[in-house]
Structures are given as structure tokens and as C-alpha cells.
Amino acid sequence: MKFKELDRLFNPRSVALIGASATPGKWGYHVLFNILKADFSGQVHAVNPKGGSVLGMECRRSLSEVPGAVDLAVITTPAPTVLNLIEECGRKGVKHAVVITSDFSETGAEGARMERELVAKARKYGMRLVGPNTMGIYSAKSNLHALLPPVMPRHGGLSMFSQSGNVGVQMLYWGNNKGVGFEKFVSSGNEGDLKCEDYLRYFADDEATRVIIAYMEGLDPDSALYPVAHAVSHKKPILIFKGGRTDTGGKAAASHSGAMACSSKVLRAAFHQAGIIEVEDSQELMDCASLLAVYPIPQGKRVGILTRGGGWGVITADACEEQGLVVPKLPDRIIDRLNKILPQFWSHGNPVDMAATLGAQPYLDCMETLAHWDGVDSIIALGGSLAEAFDVAPKGNGSKEIKDAERLMELLKGEIEKESELVVRHMRQLVADTGKPIISVSITGAEMDGSDPDQSGIVAYPTPERAVRVLKHMINYHDYLKLRKAA
Amino acid sequence: MKFKELDRLFNPRSVALIGASATPGKWGYHVLFNILKADFSGQVHAVNPKGGSVLGMECRRSLSEVPGAVDLAVITTPAPTVLNLIEECGRKGVKHAVVITSDFSETGAEGARMERELVAKARKYGMRLVGPNTMGIYSAKSNLHALLPPVMPRHGGLSMFSQSGNVGVQMLYWGNNKGVGFEKFVSSGNEGDLKCEDYLRYFADDEATRVIIAYMEGLDPDSALYPVAHAVSHKKPILIFKGGRTDTGGKAAASHSGAMACSSKVLRAAFHQAGIIEVEDSQELMDCASLLAVYPIPQGKRVGILTRGGGWGVITADACEEQGLVVPKLPDRIIDRLNKILPQFWSHGNPVDMAATLGAQPYLDCMETLAHWDGVDSIIALGGSLAEAFDVAPKGNGSKEIKDAERLMELLKGEIEKESELVVRHMRQLVADTGKPIISVSITGAEMDGSDPDQSGIVAYPTPERAVRVLKHMINYHDYLKLRKAA
């Protein structure tokens, strides 16, 4: 399949919503609402046999009444009606259909038969289908939000295919919450026609896609996905979260998407060979995606740790060793340089424990010294932003003097916020200058700490352990790339 | 040591801040500010040799000028001044001192000598010391916030001792962010006098403390902590996060708190024998603490999984098997009951995949059926609150009809929010009725999802994997309790 073919699916010039409904709660209402709200760049048409008006749009009674060409049909009507609609689409010259409708192969043999009929009909006209049983597709490039759930994804560099609509859509929410956006998304549904490997190939060639992520359930060792992944993975990172790794999960997957269970050991080997970064935790999926979206990949496993508090340095060092990373000793020349920045009682080692030294400048000076040292490949920097730590909420029962002090504390918080901006700017520059990822760990453990990687260019996690787990994946990926280059 | 002795430390009738300062940035300013802002229930005195006024309080030139008895002295003046102040405290009949001041044993041999002097002096007068080199203490009962950092802990059932001030204080922030509060807190500092086991013993006897948590670095296998923990752990859960488990972390700990490294295998055995719940991840520490704060402990490893979306059921099932939990098959009678609630195409198994059935009532009916089934010991319920999923932010460029639809969506969100309150109320009741923990997993992956365990009585995590890891710890603890009861 050529790039252009699927590009017309994600960036159509015109879309017809077949099953448009004026009734909130109906799929044909919500999908149309999302398309209109997101301000799709092409033409939109609404189709409903009863006519009337939906969300300010006049409904055509059938697709044939729609004037001009239609690139994409989105179908939300009940399963028994879909076959005829595909026929109509074919006759109209529609090139792609997203069949949101469920009750096909996921429900058993009769549904599977109906699904095969749909696909055969589409093939007759050279049409390609997404789904059936999908939550829809999304493309930032053309503002196409042909999605069922009430989510407005943030635009960014990730593209995702998901064999679970739910899991996929939730990653869109997570992206909104964590400040890392999506370029394209498809809930691949039953994959009656278009399959994961087709989307993977398309995302690989799509320039706006920087990172490919996926949730999959059905994936056996001879899947067509592997050769495609192998052809892509050295150019663009592919993160896959595989559900159904265990007997218990495999049984659940069989009931959910009909996926066959496969030993996780066999799968892991196949993933590794194809250069796929496999994650086994939903949080890790988005943590890894955030880093890949904005940072270079570390060129080795040596980590520099910078911390304002000793305990967090210890915790980070433990996590590094447990995940197979190395926390190298500081050479004398680096110690000498840090001696000039820090008070006498700093740790004199890695982790660089600043021994409660406050202020942005010494923090940045230490970071710069570490980042430019050729002995480390990445840095974990703890406690960079202190502003969040200032709890300035007035208790409301204080004396005049306490109220004055509260205002003063608020000013102080403002000052430190300004310093934080300086830290972020400087970190971003250091990452660019050194090519080393510098991961920030916030002080309050807040998940939504405003780190906003897409905006700030800085990746932050609420705990150092999460930073370390992401680094482990990145280093494995780096090792893969190195081996492949050498081969 | 008797309970009463330390109770006077945490709940003194009067506090004197020695080193009170009118200069923001000085420790003597911030600690006094926190004490005054939090509205300490007893009397507060400020002491500074220069006199004057600090935060609206007249400063006494010395402790001897303070009228009446002083239960607790908090000292922030430089290290060389502290010995004389302890002498003054002793003469005044002060029973406890919190020595915030650093530059003692953590800096080397001379500091260690000074620290021994301090302790000897205090002993002479029957005084007990917290620290030196501590970030302070906190008690919800008497609103005592004798803390250095600008944090106002939320009141609740956790009590913590921490050998790292930084790590400890950040747990207070995390508690604020996650909606689980603290009853007491102590940054134990260098533990020149009072030691972890003393605090542990006190928290054990403190009725308001429901869960004891700790961060520790120095802990060898013959520590006095173990017998104390053993005497407590079957009555009150003790969660310990041990830093310095690895060689790398151990070296960092030696430099930070002077703790000696100890093989994690030996430690793990000692923890287990004492009934301590050991966590090895900062996020897991607070995740476990949240559950213990409000829920009963599961009586076994059988988990019922309720989900609105199939993929999340698969992910949860995988995590259960990987952590050694069991996802039992549903018997026919439970399937029959669920058939009456759910549409034909639900999963007919555990995970109970509701196959996109919306609405609060069927969700609650399924939950009730699962919770009352004697085949499971706990429940993980995914996607209970759908309200957060509604992204109702207007895009600002819509037609009148789209704006109307946006308002409608906002109303719908409001309706679903009301339903969510119903879900929370019902879940809480079900937990009370069945004695089984029912863990909610939010749909948007937001960390601060308003689950607010202290307020709602419901424990929620952003991912099912985190719920499963907590359950694993709880089940190990339950097994320990069972064995101990049998012995």
C-alpha cells in the first residue's frame, strides 16, 4: 500500500457522516459534534434518511444526494444497514470508510460472516475500511476528529494505533493531561480490512509523526507487523504495549478482541529483533512516549544524578542499579569544579547532593558541569522547581503580621517561579548543546506538574524511579540501534 | 520510654522558638511562620538575644525571660551556639528540643563530637532531642507545624518518621496532592538521641495514627527497630521504604546519612519477619499508604475485575498474574446474575467487561454482584467516573449550534458528575458491607483525579497496574497476619 492511499484516509478533503443524528447519546451525534467542534479543514456532510438538520447542518437523505466527491465516509448506523451503505459508498467513489458500528466479528460467527461480506464489498470498489467496531480516527494535520468519545486531543508528535478503542482513547486523555500531543490516532477495531501493519507503515512515512505508539492484543510471532517494524524502527521509535502477555490476560484478550494468547518470551524475542520498544505498563508507555517526543536518546547507560536533597539521590541511585544503569564516580576535575559551586559539605560524589543549597544559579552550574562531563550519557535532576513547594494558601485565621508574611511568601513563590523558567530555558539549551537527555523530577510528586514537554521542551516525572525505568528502555533501544548500524 | 513522654514532644502545651528571626530566608523565620500560620493550640514564644519583634511577636532575649513553663524548644541557631542553649533549656525545665540546626555528625568527626556533647548535656537534665539536622516535627492533634519547609500538611491518619528530611517532607506534599493526610511527622535527622524505634513505639500507641510509614537509610539486621516493629505490626500496618538497598544506593546513603550498606536480601528477610511491609518505590509508598488509610485489608489474592472497556480488563488481568494474584473464573450463578444487568455481548467472565454499557446503575449492579460473591477478596473497578472524560472546553470558533451543543455537553457532564457521586457513595457502602477493598481506576490517567481517599472514603489510582501492585503488598501483609495469628 502506498503512503498516499492512507494519507487520504487521515487527511480527506471531504467527510460524510452517515448516521448523523440530532439526538445526544447517539453515536451519529457525538462523532459529528467532534468533527465540527474541531473545525475539520475539509468539507463535512451529514447523511440521514429522514433528512432534517443536525448541529446546524442540513442532512442529505442519502450519500448519492451529497454534492461533489466524498473522500471519507464515517458510518455509525446499526450493523445490518452497513453492507448497503458500503455499496452506496462504492458507487459514489468514496475511497475510505470508518465503520464505527459494532456487532461484527467480535460477537461470533455470524458477525464474522457479515464482516467478511463488508470487506468483500469494499474491495470490489477499491475501498479500504477502518474497523468495524472502532472508536474512530484523528489527524492533527487536517483537524479531523472523527472520534466517538468527547476528547479533543492535543496536537503533537505521537501517532498511535490501538486494538482497544478504550485504551487508545485514554492515551489521548493522558496526552492532554501530561502535555504531550498526538499527530494521528486510529482505533483499529476488528481490523476486518486495514490492519496494524498498514497503519504502522503509514506512520513510518508520515513526516509529522515523530514517535509511533501502539496498544495491541492480537500479535503472533509470524505477524506481518514484524517485517514492517524492522524496516522502520531504526528511523523512528516504535513503542508497543502488548495486552494478553499472561495466561490470565490472554484469556481476557481472547474474549475481548479474539486475540490468541502467545508466550511472552517468544513475543519479547520477536519485539527485540524488530527493534520495537516493548513496555509492560500503561504508565510507562506514556512516560517513554513523552521522552521520545522531545529528547535525544541517551548514548549509554551512565547516569549523572543531581539532587537538592540527599535522600532522593539515594533513591535514584538504588533505582539505577536495580534497572542495570550505572552511576559513575566523579573524576577529580569534576569534583574540583563542583567544589567552586557548592558548600563544603556537598556529597563529593555522584549523586551530586547539593546539601540543601538553594537558588537557581548553583543548581544550573552543577547541571552544566555534569552535562558537559563526558562520563555520563544522561542526567536525572531532582528538585529543580521549588515553586510548587510553596504552599501559600492562607489559613484565614492569622494576625495582620501573618497575613503580611503570607503575601511575602507569595512574592517569594513568584520569584522562584521566575527562576524556574530560567532553569527550564537553561536545561533545554543544555540538552540541545550536549545531546544528552536531562530529566527533571518535580518536588511535589504532582503528576500534572506543568512540565508540559511539548511546550517547555523539558521532560519531567513525579518520581525518579519512573525516570530510571524510561532510561532503561531508551538505553536498550540505543543498544539495538548501535548493533544494527554495525551489522 | 513511656507513651506520655513522647506525647509531650508532639503535643506540647508551649513552644519556644529559639533563633526567631524577622528575616525571610532565615530558618528562624520560616519555622515560626509555620507554627503561627497553622494556629498551634498551645502557647508560642519567640527568643532572640537582640529582642525586637518577629511576625507580630515580641522576642524574649533569652529562654529564662520566657514566663511560665516551656514544654518544647525548637532551635535554629548555628551549631556552635546549640550546646549552651541546651544547657539553658535544661535549667528552664524544658522536656524536649527539636534541633533543626545542622553541621553536626553528618559533617564528620568534629561534628559527631559536638553532637555527643549535646546529647550528654540533654541527658543530664532528662531532656530528649529530635535531630540535630532535622526539618522538624508536625502533629495534627495540636496543630503543631514546627517545620522548616513551606508545607501545610493535610490532617489524616498517617504518621511518618523519615531519616531524610527531604523525602519525608515530600511525602507531606504528596499527601496534600493525593488527598491522604498525616497525623504526625518527624524528620529524625541525625538521631543523636531519639531514634526511629522511639518514634515507631510512640506512633504504635498513638490512637489517632492508623498507618505508620517511614523512609530509612540506616538500618542493619540487628537494629532495635525490628523487635519494636514486631510488637506493633499485627496491630497497625508499618510501611517502610528503605534507601540504600543496592551498592550504588548504599554508597550514596553512606555519604548522605552515614548509613552502612546492608544486603537487601538480609534486610528483606528481617523486614518480613517483623511484619513490616517493604516497598521499593516512592510512588508505591504513598499508593500503599492511601489504601491502608481508608480500606480494609483483602483477605486473599482473588481479584474481581470490573471494566467498561475490554482492553483495560486485559491489562489488569496481565498485571494480576504477573504479581501473583488470581483472577478467578465466574461461576454460573454469577454469570446468570450479570446476564440480567448486561447486554448479550458482555465478556461472560472475569474480567467483567461491560461491553461499553454506560450509566451508573448497571456499573453499580455489576459491582455489587462481584463484591458479594464469595469467590473474590478484592475488586478493581475501572472507568467508574466518566465525568472527567468530558472535554467541554469550547474551541471558540464554532457556530451557534456547536456552542449550544457544547452547553449541552456541559450539562451532560454535570449529570455524570452527579452519577459519580452516587457511585462513590455506593462503593463506600459496599466496602463497608463486604469488608473487601474496591479500588477505583480513573479514566483519564490523571494523578490528582479528585479521588481524595480521606474525603470520599474511596481509593483510586490512575492505572490498574498500580492498583495491582498495592494489592500484592496488602496480600503479603494479610498472609503474615494469618500466620502470626495461627502461631
pLDDT of A119 reads 98
- The partner residues of B215 in beta bridges, in order of sequence, read B162, B241
Torsion from C-alpha of B87, B93, B98, B99, nearest 10 degrees = -10
- A251 and B412: CB-CB below 8 Å? no
**Helices B165-178 + B282-294 axis angle, to 10:** 50
The cell numbers describing A328, all together, are: 559513575
The cell numbers describing A316, all together, are: 535514584
- A405 and B345: CB-CB below 8 Å? no
Contact between B226 and B161 under an 8 Å Cβ cutoff? The reply is no
Q: How far is B2 from chain A (nearest CA, A)?
A: 30
pLDDT of B377 reads 98
Q: Give dist(CA B250, CA B263) in Å, integer.
A: 9
Determine contact: A403 vs chain B, CB below 8 A. Answer: no
Task: Tell me how many degrees the CA angle A29-A31-A34 measures, rounded to the nearest 5.
Answer: 105
pLDDT of B191 reads 95
Return the residue in A318, A395, A409 with the most chain B beta carbons within 10 A, the one to mutate for interface testing. A318
Q: How far is A307 from chain B (nearest CA, A)?
A: 10
| Spatial CA neighbour of A480 closest among A178, A249, A276, A340 | A276
Smallest Cβ–Cβ distance between A311 and the set B152, B164, B312 belongs to B164
Determine contact: B410 vs chain A, CB below 8 A. Answer: no
Q: Which CB contacts under 8 angstroms, 24+ apart, belong to B172-176?
A: B172/B138, B173/A388, B173/A389, B173/A443, B173/A444, B173/A445, B173/A446, B174/A444, B174/A445, B174/B286, B175/B286, B176/A391, B176/A444, B176/B151, B176/B152
Smallest Cβ–Cβ distance between A256 and the set B256, B314, B392 belongs to B314
pLDDT of A392 reads 66
Q: How far is A361 from chain B (nearest CA, A)?
A: 17
Q: Is B381 helix (H, G, I), strand (E, B) or coil?
A: strand
Determine contact: B33 vs chain A, CB below 8 A. Answer: yes
Q: Give dist(CA B359, CA B361) in Å, integer.
A: 6
Query: Strands of B53-54's sheet, edge to edge?
Result: B53-54, B57-60, B43-47, B14-18, B72-75, B96-99, B128-130
Determine contact: A446 vs chain B, CB below 8 A. Answer: yes
Torsion from C-alpha of B386, B388, B389, B390, nearest 10 degrees = 100
Question: Alpha-carbon Rg of chain A, whole angstroms?
Answer: 26
Three-state SS for B451-467 is CCHHHHCCCEECCHHHH
The cell numbers describing A177, all together, are: 493531561
- B315 and A253: CB-CB below 8 Å? no
Smallest Cβ–Cβ distance between B314 and the set A217, A383, A464 belongs to A217
Q: How far is B434 from chain A (nearest CA, A)?
A: 25
How would you write the pLDDT of chain A (487 residues) with one tens digit per residue? 678 889 999 999 999 999 999 998 899 999 999 999 998 999 999 999 999 999 999 999 999 999 999 999 999 999 999 999 999 999 999 999 999 999 999 888 999 999 999 999 999 999 999 999 999 999 999 999 999 998 899 999 999 999 999 999 999 988 988 889 999 999 999 999 999 999 999 999 999 999 999 999 987 778 899 999 999 999 999 999 999 989 999 888 887 777 666 677 788 889 999 999 999 999 999 999 999 999 999 999 999 999 988 899 999 999 999 999 999 999 999 999 999 999 988 999 999 999 877 788 999 999 999 999 999 999 999 986 666 666 667 676 678 888 888 888 888 888 888 888 888 899 999 999 999 999 999 766 555 445 688 888 899 998 999 999 999 999 999 999 999 999 8
Smallest Cβ–Cβ distance between B177 and the set A33, A397, A445 belongs to A445
- The partner residues of A14 in beta bridges, in order of sequence, read A43
Q: Give dist(CA A242, CA A268) in Å, integer.
A: 10
Determine contact: A141 vs chain B, CB below 8 A. Answer: no
pLDDT of A410 reads 87
pTM of the model: 0.95
The cell numbers describing B447, all together, are: 494523578
Smallest Cβ–Cβ distance between A389 and the set B150, B412, B463 belongs to B150
Contact between B66 and B171 under an 8 Å Cβ cutoff? The reply is no
Smallest Cβ–Cβ distance between B314 and the set A252, A401, A466 belongs to A252
Determine contact: B411 vs chain A, CB below 8 A. Answer: no
Determine contact: B337 vs chain A, CB below 8 A. Answer: no
- A150 and B347: CB-CB below 8 Å? no
- A389 and B173: CB-CB below 8 Å? yes
Task: Give the single-character DSSP code of B244.
Answer: -
Query: Strands of A438-441's sheet, edge to edge?
Result: A352-353, A303-307, A378-382, A438-441, A460-461
CB count within 10 Å of CB B222 equals 7
How would you write the pLDDT of chain B (487 residues) with one tens digit per residue? 678 889 999 999 999 999 999 998 899 999 999 999 998 999 999 999 999 999 999 999 999 999 999 999 999 999 999 999 999 999 999 999 999 999 999 888 999 999 999 999 999 999 999 999 999 999 999 999 999 998 899 999 999 999 999 999 999 988 988 889 999 999 999 999 999 999 999 999 999 999 999 999 987 778 899 999 999 999 999 999 999 989 999 888 887 777 666 677 788 889 999 999 999 999 999 999 999 999 999 999 999 999 988 899 999 999 999 999 999 999 999 999 999 999 988 999 999 999 877 788 999 999 999 999 999 999 999 986 666 666 667 676 678 888 888 888 888 888 888 888 888 899 999 999 999 999 999 766 555 445 688 888 899 998 999 999 999 999 999 999 999 999 8
B residues 162-181 lying closer than 8 A (beta carbon) to A = 162-168, 170, 173-174, 176-178
Instruction: Give the E-state strand segments of A164-243 in sequence order.
Output: 182-187, 211-216, 238-242
Q: How many residues does chain B have?
A: 487
Smallest Cβ–Cβ distance between A243 and the set B107, B314, B389 belongs to B314
Determine contact: B13 vs chain A, CB below 8 A. Answer: no
Contacts of A347 in chain B (CB under 8 A): 252, 255-256
- B33 and A405: CB-CB below 8 Å? yes
Helices (H), B212-326: 225-232, 247-257, 264-274, 282-294, 310-322
Return the residue in A315, A335, A342 with the most chain B beta carbons within 10 A, the one to mutate for interface testing. A315
Cell 470508518 locates to A98
- A408 and B24: CB-CB below 8 Å? yes
- B252 and A308: CB-CB below 8 Å? no
Task: Give the single-character DSSP code of B206.
Answer: -
B residues 288-327 lying closer than 8 A (beta carbon) to A = 308-315, 317-322, 327
Q: How far is B445 from chain A (nearest CA, A)?
A: 6
B residues 41-80 lying closer than 8 A (beta carbon) to A = 55-57
Task: Give the single-character DSSP code of B99.
Answer: E
Q: What are phi and psi of A309, to 5 degrees?
A: -130, 135
Q: Give dist(CA A40, CA B262) in Å, integer.
A: 61
- A170 and B444: CB-CB below 8 Å? yes
The cell numbers describing A404, all together, are: 503580611
CB count within 10 Å of CB B108 equals 13
Instruction: Give the E-state strand segments of B65-221 in sequence order.
Output: 72-75, 96-99, 128-130, 136-139, 144-147, 155-162, 182-187, 211-216
Angstrom distances, CA of residue A406 to CA of A43, A270, A379? 55, 59, 35
Q: How far is B91 from chain A (nearest CA, A)?
A: 32
pLDDT of A449 reads 46
Q: Is B440 helix (H, G, I), strand (E, B) or coil?
A: strand
Q: Give dist(CA B185, CA B161) in Å, integer.
A: 6
B residues 371-400 lying closer than 8 A (beta carbon) to A = 383, 388-393, 395, 397-400
Residue of A nearest to B163 (CA): A311
Alpha-carbon torsion (B13, B15, B16, B20), positive or negative: negative
Alpha-carbon torsion (B304, B308, B310, B313), positive or negative: negative
Residue A60, sorted as left (phi over 0), alpha (psi -120 to 50) or beta, turns out to be beta
- What type of residue sits at position A336? D
- Which H or E run contains A91? helix A79-92
B residues 228-287 lying closer than 8 A (beta carbon) to A = 241, 243-249, 251-253, 255-257, 280-283, 286
The distance between the two most distant Cα atoms of chain A, rounded to a whole number of Å, is 81
ipTM of the complex: 0.95
B residues 76-135 lying closer than 8 A (beta carbon) to A = 102-103, 106-107
The cell numbers describing A178, all together, are: 501530561
A residues 419-438 lying closer than 8 A (beta carbon) to B = none
- The partner residues of B16 in beta bridges, in order of sequence, read B45, B73
Residues 6+ away with beta carbon under 8 Å from A126: A95
Smallest Cβ–Cβ distance between A395 and the set B38, B308, B344 belongs to B38
Omega cis (within 30) before B78 = no
| Spatial CA neighbour of A185 closest among A159, A155, A213, A151 | A159
Contact between A381 and A438 under an 8 Å Cβ cutoff? The reply is yes
- The partner residues of A213 in beta bridges, in order of sequence, read A160, A239
Determine contact: A208 vs chain B, CB below 8 A. Answer: no
Contact between A64 and A53 under an 8 Å Cβ cutoff? The reply is no
Determine contact: A22 vs chain B, CB below 8 A. Answer: no
Contacts of B102 in chain A (CB under 8 A): 356
- B281 and A248: CB-CB below 8 Å? no
Q: How far is B391 from chain A (nearest CA, A)?
A: 5
